[in-house]
Chains A and B, each alone.
Chain A
Amino acid sequence: MHRNVHTFLALLVIATPIAALSDAEARPVRGGARTSVGGGSYTRSANVNRNTNVSRNVNRNVNVHRDLDVDVDRHYGGWGYGAGYGSHPVARAAAVTGAAVATAAVVGSVVSSIPPSCVATHVGGVVYQRCGSTWYQPRYYGSSVSYVVVNPP
């Protein structure tokens, strides 16, 4: 019984951000045009692992989790990044969800966007985004910025 209540609350909390999704997250993108003729010709072949399901976040909810490519905004830039569309080694290496979950964020998980209410905070020369009790550290994944959940510094 106790457990059921928790599950219910967790679903509520997770479901809330859906309404707050920005345009970018609201449109699930499956792919896009290649932007270079020779792209990916260095070591990797192009278009491998397209739309691989990478996220196994235990807190995920089907409605929230979208298997978005980690660098969501590459889809909207119109320039070629990475070795072929959807071939994203970072996505293979990290669990990535489309939008930040307000609570219950697991340290080490990566999101492509955070709520606008987050506050940039510098601690020891490092910039964090503080969102309530959750701290994120921005990082470049390719030429896109994503946010990894960290312990409070």
Chain B
Amino acid sequence: MTRRMLIPLALIVIGAPSLAAAAEPAAARCEKNQAVIRRLEDMGTFLREQRTFSVRSETTTDEVLENGQKIQLAATGELEVRRPDRLHATFSSDRRDREFFYDGRTFTVYSPSDGYYATVAAPSSIFALLGQLSDRYNIELPLADLFRWGTPRSGVDQILCASFIGTSKLDGTTTDQFAFRQAGLDWQIWIEQGPRPLPRKLVLTTTDDPAKPEHTMALDWNLTPRTDPQAFIFRPPRTASRIEIVDLGG
């Protein structure tokens, strides 16, 4: 009798872990390595210390069709920055091109292909500008993360898991690869080893869509750019037309 009861109990015990694993092992197996978090914060601090820089980006972004198919689209961009209040960004893909100008007083979005531009009054820093663009104009500047890291808005508090993956050579540069998990997003970053802890590559995997679309970004940095001050000022071409931008009043 005792023996017969033991068998079902054993089955239950064996069955339990596999059920749990099938449900969602993520939380249980997650490590949040504080040394990794510190590397991310060191990178943020270093980024904030750069007064002028330019960075070229090559990105790919998956979109998901209604049937669940993923389509990958590529784009290139260039960002020129002079802290605290100058920014010029140019981005183009097969489908669209945009330029963004911030001269410390105004912000302009310009579409070279159709000649439309919109100009609005801007706050006195890039960081404040990012908030205004997001809240009032629903614009997320490309590579906006670069300005969030090293600030209270870095999103480090959103990170659930943080781990070191290993070293990796990118274009001859030795980097450390780290992996993070947060709600709805798994992401990886490759940070340059040595005195310039710069982000060189990112992969973002959106996990709250079953198709798990990805965004990848390769970054090529210049920390001593010869930037023309005029580059931050928008001068509309003769053929350009000024149009409104919808203000959400955030």
Residue positions of A touching B, CB distance < 8 A: 24, 27-44, 46-47, 73, 75-83, 85, 88-90, 93, 120, 122, 127, 137-145
9 closest pairs, A vs B, by CB?
A76-B95, A78-B75, A33-B213, A38-B155, A140-B245, A78-B61, A127-B241, A32-B63, A79-B142
Q: Cβ of B93: which chain A residues have Cβ within 8 Å of it?
A: 76-79
B91 touches A79 (CB 8 A): yes
Find the B residue at minimum CB distance from A138. Answer: B243
Q: Cβ of A138: which chain B residues have Cβ within 8 Å of it?
A: 114, 116, 241, 243
Find the A residue at minimum CB distance from B72. Answer: A78
**Given that A79-B77, A89-B248, A140-B116 are contacting pairs, would A30 and B64 also be in contact in the complex, using a CB cutoff of 8 Å?**
yes
B111 touches A145 (CB 8 A): yes
**A-binding segment of B163-171, B201-209, B230-238:** B201-209
Complex Cα spacing A26 to B60, Å: 21
Complex Cα spacing A4 to B60, Å: 50
A81-B139, A145-B111 known; 12 other A-B pairs, CB under 8 Å?
Answer: A31-B206, A32-B62, A38-B145, A38-B153, A38-B158, A41-B148, A73-B95, A73-B96, A79-B140, A90-B248, A122-B241, A127-B243
**Given that A31-B63, A79-B61 are contacting pairs, would A90 and B74 also be in contact in the complex, using a CB cutoff of 8 Å?**
no
Interface residue count for B (Cβ, 8 Å)? Answer: 64
Q: Which of B74, B93, B95, B214 has the most CB of A within 10 A?
A: B95
B138 touches A120 (CB 8 A): no
**Given that A35-B215, A89-B138 are contacting pairs, would A145 and B116 also be in contact in the complex, using a CB cutoff of 8 Å?**
yes
A142 touches B137 (CB 8 A): yes
Quick one: which of B64, B73, B95, B135 contacts A31, CB cutoff 8 A?
Answer: B64
B140 touches A36 (CB 8 A): yes
B243 touches A33 (CB 8 A): no
Cross-chain pair count, CB within 8 angstroms? 178
Q: Cβ of A32: which chain B residues have Cβ within 8 Å of it?
A: 61-64, 206, 213
Complex Cα spacing A24 to B74, Å: 15
Quick one: which of B134, B154, B204 contacts A34, CB cutoff 8 A?
Answer: B204
A141 touches B246 (CB 8 A): yes
Q: Cβ of A82: which chain B residues have Cβ within 8 Å of it?
A: 138-140
Q: Closest CB of chain A to B143's CB: distance in Å? A: 8
Subset of 10 A-B contacts with CB under 8 Å: A32-B213, A36-B140, A36-B144, A36-B145, A38-B155, A76-B63, A77-B96, A139-B246, A142-B139, A143-B109
Q: Closest CB of chain B to A17's CB: distance in Å? A: 20
Q: Is B112 an interface residue (CB 8 A)?
A: no
Q: Is B24 an interface residue (CB 8 A)?
A: no
Q: Cβ of B73: which chain A residues have Cβ within 8 Å of it?
A: 76-78
B95 touches A24 (CB 8 A): yes
Complex Cα spacing A41 to B144, Å: 11
